[in-house]
Structure formats: C-alpha cells, structure tokens
C-alpha cells in the first residue's frame, strides 16, 4: 500500500545525491510499513556504472533480510527505474514499485518491462507519485550540468 512518507524519503535521498553531483535519484525499500534499506545514486563517487539507487537499496535489503527474495517488500524511487534496475527489481521479487517522475528519453517503461518479462514474478508498477517535484529535480540537475559546460 502506497505511503507518501516513503516517496518523500526517496526525494530527500535524491536531493542528497544532487548535492554530491550525482544524478538525483533516491530509492527506499519498505516491508511491513518500515524502511528496510535506502540509497541514492553513487555512480560518480564509486566509479561504478551499476551504482544506481535501486541496485544499492536492493543489495542492502538482501543483506539485511538475508535473502535475495524481497517478498512482501515495496520499493519507492524518485525516478522511473531504467532497464537494469527494473531487471533487479523483478529478480528481487519486490511486490510493488512506486516511482515519481517518468523517464522521458524514449526508453521502455517499467510497466512494459514487467509485461515483457519471462519471470514468474510480476511487480506491480505505480508511477506519477509527486511527479512534478521529482521531474523538476532531474530537469534542473541536467540544466545546471549543461550550463556549466558552456
């Protein structure tokens, strides 16, 4: 069940990432109404292409729960997950995905990836949670990046 306080936490983490000059994305994994793990993008800091907020949050949750199956867990993300992250979400068997802004770069959507998946688990996908705020974070970040290159 969707709870706004968890998307707010994901947004807070995205803002933390932005301050560190990372693409502003935050992720929170919840089970039984409690945060199990949280993370924000750390690709620049770690020099690791896979250090997306969702992947890092999933790794922490798996370690904490001592299982790669995150059954009964939900993930809240400030930005719609990319293909790599959606694959991890499906493989971790997360119950529900709640995200803020949609990816607008012509990428395949999270919902489409669930439908195309040949896994026996299907994650429920709900987008548009605080979409305007989440979208503005990403848009402003890239505007600043382009401006600083001029």
Catalytic center residues: 54
How many residues appear in the chain? 150
Contact criterion met (CB below 8 Å) for 28 and 89: no
Q: Measure the CA–CA gap between 68 and 91, rounded to whole angstroms.
A: 8
> Is the torsion defined by CA of 115, 36, 49, 104 positive or negative?
positive
């Amino acid at each position: 069940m969707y709870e706004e306080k968890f998307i707010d936490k994901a947004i807070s983490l995205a803002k933390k990432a932005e301050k560190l000059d990372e693409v502003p994305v935050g992720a929170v994994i919840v089970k039984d109404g409690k945060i199990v793990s949280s993370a924000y993008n750390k690709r620049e800091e770690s020099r690791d292409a896979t250090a997306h907020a969702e992947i890092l949050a999933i790794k922490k949750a798996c370690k904490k729960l001592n299982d790669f199956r995150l059954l009964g867990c939900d993930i809240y993300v400030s930005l719609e997950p990319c293909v790599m992250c959606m694959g991890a979400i499906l493989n971790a068997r997360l119950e529900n995905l709640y995200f803020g802004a949609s990816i607008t770069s012509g990428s395949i959507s999270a919902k489409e990836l669930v439908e195309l998946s040949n896994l026996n688990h299907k994650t429920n996908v709900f987008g548009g949670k605080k979409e305007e705020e989440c979208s503005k974070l990403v848009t402003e970040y890239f505007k600043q990046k382009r401006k600083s290159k001029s």
